[in-house]
Structure 1
Amino acid sequence: MISCIIVLSILIMIPGVQPEFDLQGHRGCRGLLPENTIPAMKMALDLGVTTLEMDAVVTGDNKVLISHEPWFNSKISTDPDGRPVDPGTEQQTNIFRMTYSVTQLYDVGRRGHPDFPQQKKIGAVKPLLADVIDAAEMHADSTGRPKPYYNIETKCSPQGDNVFHPAPEQFASLVAGIVLSKKVESRTCIQSFDFRTLKYIHAEFPALRTAMLIEGHDKRSLAEQLNELGYVPDIYSPNSSLVTRELVASCHEKGMKLIPWTVNRIEEMKQLKALGVDGLISDYPDLYRQLK
C-alpha cells in the first residue's frame, strides 16, 4: 500500500502525467462548501482530489471569473444591498456587463444551496481564475501535497456570444493566457459543451489538453460527436447516465480517457469504476475515501 501511494504521488508531480484514476472535485466540493470558491477548492485538495474542476466566465473588463452561470444564480446569491437575487431577474445580473470590482459586492455562500443541505454556509465571492490557481498552488505547497490538476470549463454558447460572454476565440484566449502565465499548462485541461472553444484551444494552444462535455440527452453516436468536434480530444466527459462498457472501450480505442459527471453516490462510483472509466467528477469528493 505504501509503495502504491509513493508511485501515485510521483505520477501526480510529473508535469503532464496524470495518475491512473483521476478524482475530480466538481466546482471544488459543491456538496460541502459554496461552489466555485477558493474555500471549496482548498477543501477539495484536503480531501485528496487529483483535479479541481471549475467553470469560467468573463467580466465586462475582461477578467476571467470562476462561476457556473454568467450571472448571479438566485438560489445562492445575495446582492450588494443584502437581498437575495430575484429568480425572475437573475439574468440581469449579467457578469459580462459588470466590472470585476462590482462582482465582488455579491455574496454567493452565506445563504447556502437549497439542493445541497450538507453545504456549509460561509460568506464567499466569485474569485478570479488567477487567484484560484495561486491559492491552490500555495495550499498544496503549505500542506505538502502534490500540485493539483485543473479542469476549466468555458461557459459559453452561440446564443450568448457578446451578450453573456465574448466570442469563443477571445474567451478561449483569455483563459489560456492565464493558464500559461501561471505556468500550469501541463496540468490543465479545458472542457466545454461548446466545441468552438475546444477547436480554438486545440489549434492555437496545443500544450493544453481538451475534454468534450456531453449532455445526457445527446443521443448521437461517438463517431457523430467526434465528427462535429473535428479531432480526437484527450478526454470524453459525458453525463454518467450515458456510460456503458462499450462506450468506455470505444473511447480507449481512440486514445481518449472517459471521465463522467456528476457522480454523487458511492454505489454509482463503484459501478462506473468497474466499467473501466478513467476518473470521476463529484460534488462530494469526501466519498472518494470509500472508493476501492
Structure 2
Amino acid sequence: MQNIISLAFIILFTAACKNGPSTSKHQASWPQFSTEGHRGARGLMPENTIPAMRKAIDLGVTTLEMDAHITRDKEVVLAHDAHINPLFMLSPDGKEISKEEAENMALYQMDYAEIRRFDVGSKFHTGFPQQQKLKTYIPRLAELIDSVQAYLKAKNKPPVFYNIETKSKPAGDNRLHPDPENFVKLLMAVIQEKKITPWVIIQSFDLRTLQVLHQKYPQVRTSFLVQHNKSVAENLQELGFTPTVYSPNLKLVNANLVKECHERGMKVVPWTANTAEEIANLKALGVDGIISDYPNLLVAAQ
C-alpha cells in the first residue's frame, strides 16, 4: 500500500510540474540578469497592451513590467494613468479626446466594458516615434496573463516574470483607486486565480501597498520604487522591512548604492534606461536587472 501511495504521489507531482511554474508554492529562481520590458515594450508597441507584452517576449526578456489600476466594477486593468490619456488614446469612435474631457474619465469611475472601447494604439505617440501603430485596448490583467501564458506555450518560450506596479498614492484613495488593502486584495485575487504567484514581483512608489503585501502575502516578492534622494537606510526605515528589490531612478544609481543594497540582501533594478550607453553604465555598476522602454537594447547587451 505504501508503494502505491508513493507512486501516486510521484505521478501527481510530475503532472503538476508539466503544468508549468504556476503550480509551485515557492518563488521561481531569480534570473541571472532581469531584462524588463517597461510597460511591455513601450518604445516599440502601445504601452501596457497584449501586443506590447508579446513583442517583449519575442525579443527575449525575462520580465514583463506593467502597471495596474482598478475599475469601478473592480476589474484589475493594465494602465499607467489614473485617467484616459489623450496623449495616445482615442475615443471609442476614433476621435481625439481633449484634456478637459479626460479629466472626467477616471478609470476607477468607469466600468471595464466602457474602458475597453477606447483605442490605445492607433494614435501617433510623439514621445515614442518607433512605436508600431495598431488598434488595441486596455486589457484586464486576467486576460493578459492568459494571453501571455498561451503565447509562451505556443512559441515554446521559457516562463517570464510579471513585475506589476500598483498605481496608487494617498491622495487618490477611494477616488482614483481603492485603499491599499483593497487594491492589493483585488490584485492578488487575480494573481492567485491564475497561479502565477511564484513568478510575480509587486512594485510601487506607494509604500503602503508594499506593507500590505509584506503583512498579508509574505510569499510575494516586492520591489520599492524610488525617485528621490533619501538614503537607502532612510527609505527602508520608512518602509519598515527589506523588500526583494530596490528599484531606483537610474540617475540615483552609483557603486555605493549597489553595494549597500547587496549587503542588505536586495536586488537592484533601475528604471528607465533607454540608451545603450545608459544600459552599459548600469551593468558596469553591478545592477541585477534593468527596466527599459526598449527591451531590444537590453537583450542586445546580454
Q: CA deviation at 1:137?
A: 0.6
**Alpha-carbon separation, structure 2, partners of 1:206 and 1:177:** 15
> Could you tell me which residue of structure 2 aligns to residue 142 of structure 1?
154
Residues 35 and 299 of structure 2 are in contact (CA less than 8 Å); yes or no, is this contact kept in structure 1?
Answer: no
Residues 45 and 52 of structure 2 are in contact (CA less than 8 Å); yes or no, is this contact kept in structure 1?
Answer: yes
Show structure 1 runs of 5+ residues with no match.
Answer: 1-11
Q: CA deviation at 1:90?
A: 1.8
Q: CA deviation at 1:88?
A: 3.3
Residues 21-100 of structure 1: matches in 2 within 5 Å?
21-100=33-112
Normalised TM-score (structure 1): 0.93
Cα displacement string for residues 165-200 of structure 1 (whole angstroms, at most 9, x for unaligned residues): 011100011111111111100000100000000000
**Alpha-carbon separation, structure 1, partners of 2:156 and 2:92:** 38
> Could you tell me which residue of structure 2 aligns to residue 241 of structure 1?
251
**Alpha-carbon separation, structure 2, partners of 1:19 and 1:71:** 34
Structure whose CA Rg is larger? 2
Q: What secondary structure does 1:169 align onto?
A: helix
2:183 to 144, 164, 171: 171
Structure 1 runs of 4+ off > 4 angstroms?
A: 12-15
> Could you tell me which residue of structure 2 aligns to residue 231 of structure 1?
241
**Alpha-carbon separation, structure 2, partners of 1:49 and 1:91:** 35
Q: CA deviation at 1:72?
A: 0.9
> Could you tell me which residue of structure 1 aligns to residue 125 of structure 2?
113
Cα displacement string for residues 24-77 of structure 1 (whole angstroms, at most 9, x for unaligned residues): 000000000000000000010000000000000000000000000121111011
Matched, 1:262 2:275: no
Residues 40 and 49 of structure 2 are in contact (CA less than 8 Å); yes or no, is this contact kept in structure 1?
Answer: yes
The sequence identity of aligned pairs, in percent, is 46
CA RMSD of aligned residues (A): 1.3
Residues 34 and 112 of structure 1 are in contact (CA less than 8 Å); yes or no, is this contact kept in structure 2?
Answer: no
**Alpha-carbon separation, structure 1, partners of 2:198 and 2:117:** 34
One-letter amino acid matched to 2:224: M
> Could you tell me which residue of structure 2 aligns to residue 277 of structure 1?
287
**Alpha-carbon separation, structure 2, partners of 1:82 and 1:46:** 29
Q: CA deviation at 1:114?
A: 1.2
> Could you tell me which residue of structure 1 aligns to residue 11 of structure 2?
none
One-letter amino acid matched to 1:243: V
**Alpha-carbon separation, structure 2, partners of 1:44 and 1:289:** 10
Q: CA deviation at 1:20?
A: 1.4
Residues 112 and 122 of structure 1 are in contact (CA less than 8 Å); yes or no, is this contact kept in structure 2?
Answer: no
One-letter amino acid matched to 1:209: R
- How many residue pairs match? The answer is 279
Residues 269 and 291 of structure 1 are in contact (CA less than 8 Å); yes or no, is this contact kept in structure 2?
Answer: yes
Residues 58 and 70 of structure 1 are in contact (CA less than 8 Å); yes or no, is this contact kept in structure 2?
Answer: no
> Could you tell me which residue of structure 2 aligns to residue 204 of structure 1?
216
